C-alpha cells in the first residue's frame, strides 16, 4: 500500500531534476531554432529569412524570460521555506508550481515575488552584457525579453506594494483583472518595440 501511495505522490509532484532537465531541453531547443534562423538571416537576402528570424527571436525571448521568471519564483519560494507543490502543467503553460496561500506567510509570498523579478531581469542583464548586439537577430531577442520584463513588472509591482502595506496576498491577486493584464501586455509590447528601435 505504501508503494502505491508513493507512486501517486510522484504523479502529483514530478521530481525537481526531471522538471529542470525538461526545461533545460526546452531552452536549448528554442535557442537552437533561433540560432538556425539567425544563420539563415545572415547569409540570405530573402524577406522570409528576416521575417522568420524576427518571429523566432520574439517567441524565443518570451520562452527564455518566462522560464527564468517562473523558476525564479520557485527559487524564491523554496529559499524562504514556503510550502509549494510542483506540477508538470500543460504543454504550453509557463506555470511550474502551486503556492500554498493558507500555509505560507506574507514574507514568504514576497520572497517568491522577488525571485520571479530577479529571474527575468537577471537573464536580461546576462544577455545584455554577453551579446554584442550588433545585428537585428540579437536585438530582437533581447528586446523580446525586455518587453516581458516590463510586462511582468507592471503585473506584479502593485501586488507586491499592496502586500508590503499589509494586504493579504490572495486578496491582492484577486484585484488583478483581465483588463489590467491586457494593459500590461500592451505596455510591455510597446517597450519591446521601443527597445528594438533604440538598439538598432
Contact call for residues 53 and 41 (beta carbons, < 8 A): yes
Asked whether the beta carbons of 199 and 142 are under 8 A apart, the reply is yes
Distances, alpha carbon 39 to alpha carbons 35, 90, 102, in Å: 6, 31, 50
What is the percent of the chain where pLDDT is above 90? Answer: 80
Instruction: Tell me the per-residue pLDDT of 22-52, one tens digit each, with 9 for 90 and over.
Output: 999 999 999 999 999 999 988 888 889 889 9
- Higher-pLDDT residue of 141, 12: 141
pLDDT digits (tens, 9 = 90+) for 53-108: 999 999 999 999 999 999 999 999 999 999 999 987 776 788 889 999 999 999 99
pLDDT for 65 equals: 97
pLDDT band at 4 (very low <50, low <70, confident <90, very high): very low
Separation of alpha carbons 183 and 17, rounded Å: 36
Q: Which pLDDT does position 1 carry in this prediction?
A: 33
Distance in angstroms (rounded) separating the CA atoms of residues 86 and 83: 10
Distance from C-alpha of 44 to C-alpha of 48, rounded to nearest angstrom:
9
pLDDT at 9: 44
Q: Rounded to an integer, what distance in angstroms lies between the CA atom of residue 143 and that of residue 75?
A: 25
* Residue 140 burial class via C-beta count within 10 angstroms: exposed 0-12, middle 13-18, buried 19 and up: buried
Tens of pLDDT along 152-193?
Answer: 999 999 999 999 999 999 999 999 999 999 999 999 999 999
The SS3 assignment for 133 reads coil
pLDDT confidence of residue 91: 65
Determine the pLDDT at residue 66.
Answer: 96
10 pLDDT more than 60: no
Q: What is the pLDDT of residue 100?
A: 92
Amino acid at each position: 500500500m505504501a508503494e502505491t501511495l508513493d507512486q501517486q505522490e510522484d504523479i502529483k509532484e514530478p521530481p525537481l531534476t526531471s522538471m529542470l532537465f525538461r526545461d533545460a531541453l526546452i531552452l536549448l531547443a528554442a535557442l537552437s531554432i533561433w540560432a538556425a534562423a539567425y544563420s539563415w538571416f545572415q547569409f540570405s537576402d530573402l524577406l522570409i529569412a528576416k521575417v522568420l528570424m524576427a518571429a523566432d527571436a520574439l517567441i524565443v525571448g518570451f520562452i527564455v524570460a518566462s522560464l527564468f521568471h517562473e523558476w525564479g519564483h520557485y527559487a524564491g519560494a523554496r529559499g524562504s521555506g514556503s510550502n509549494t507543490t510542483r506540477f508538470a502543467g500543460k504543454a504550453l503553460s509557463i506555470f511550474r508550481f502551486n503556492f500554498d496561500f493558507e500555509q505560507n506567510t506574507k514574507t514568504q509570498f514576497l520572497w517568491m515575488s522577488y525571485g520571479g523579478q530577479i529571474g527575468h531581469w537577471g537573464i536580461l542583464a546576462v544577455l545584455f552584457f554577453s551579446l554584442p548586439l550588433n545585428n537585428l537577430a540579437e536585438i530582437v531577442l533581447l528586446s523580446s525579453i525586455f518587453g516581458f520584463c516590463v510586462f511582468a513588472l507592471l503585473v506584479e509591482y502593485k501586488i507586491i506594494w499592496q502586500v508590503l502595506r499589509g494586504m493579504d496576498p490572495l486578496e491582492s491577486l484577486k484585484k488583478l483583472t483581465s483588463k489590467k493584464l491586457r494593459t500590461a501586455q500592451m505596455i510591455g509590447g510597446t517597450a519591446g518595440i521601443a527597445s528594438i528601435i533604440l538598439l538598432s
